Amino acid sequence: MWTNLGKQRMFEEFFEASSVNATRFMLQLASALPVPTDQVGWDANLSSTAQVGLVSASSIGTSGLEVLRLGHAAAGFNVSSAHELGASAARAVLQTAGDVYKYNGPITGARYVLLTEGAESAVTFDPTAAEVYAWWDIGQDTNIATGNTLTITDLSLQGN
């Protein structure tokens, strides 16, 4: 059984230390269909962007938005302990100062936001074969017209 301190340390290792082989993460958009390859639906078994239908956004295509690790930039995932939350969990929340996580339209059929592995450089990043660490359901298929934006704020992961 994880202790509360163990949960906090796990998030710190993942988002702030060196357990993941990259200096950054990526936020990518995916559609609800097709259902992830070899899966019944969207669940914890999703492991790669190769299993899903990535959604393109103006100027960045399917490659997504860069999220640097916390020691490298002001924006990134901030880890809170159970004590700080007043709860029996630890949480990692995406810091979105200045609304830096904006996708420009046109965007068609975005349903999920994926937290995926990044790479040491944009040259080596393959958006269609990245490991998926977490995903969030936007709630419905989302279309954004040209000239409008989809802003991602306050994504949260909690270790219970």
Residue-range domain boundaries for the chain: 4-159
What 12-21 contacts at long range (C-beta under 8 Å, 24+ apart), as own/partner pairs, is: 12/79, 14/92, 14/133, 15/69, 15/70, 15/76, 15/77, 15/79, 15/92, 16/69, 16/70, 16/71, 16/77, 16/79, 20/117, 20/133, 21/117
The letter for the amino acid at 37 is T
The helix (run of H) or strand (run of E) holding residue 68 is strand 65-68
The confidence score (pLDDT) of residue 105 equals: 92
The letter for the amino acid at 35 is V
Q: Between residues 27 and 19, which one has the greater pLDDT?
A: 27
The confidence band for 70, taking pLDDT boundaries of 50, 70 and 90, is low
Region label for 10, one of left (φ > 0), alpha (ψ between -120 and 50) or beta (otherwise)? alpha
The confidence band for 11, taking pLDDT boundaries of 50, 70 and 90, is confident
Mean pLDDT of the chain: 81
pTM: predicted TM-score of the whole model, two decimal places: 0.84
Q: Between residues 133 and 44, which one has the greater pLDDT?
A: 133
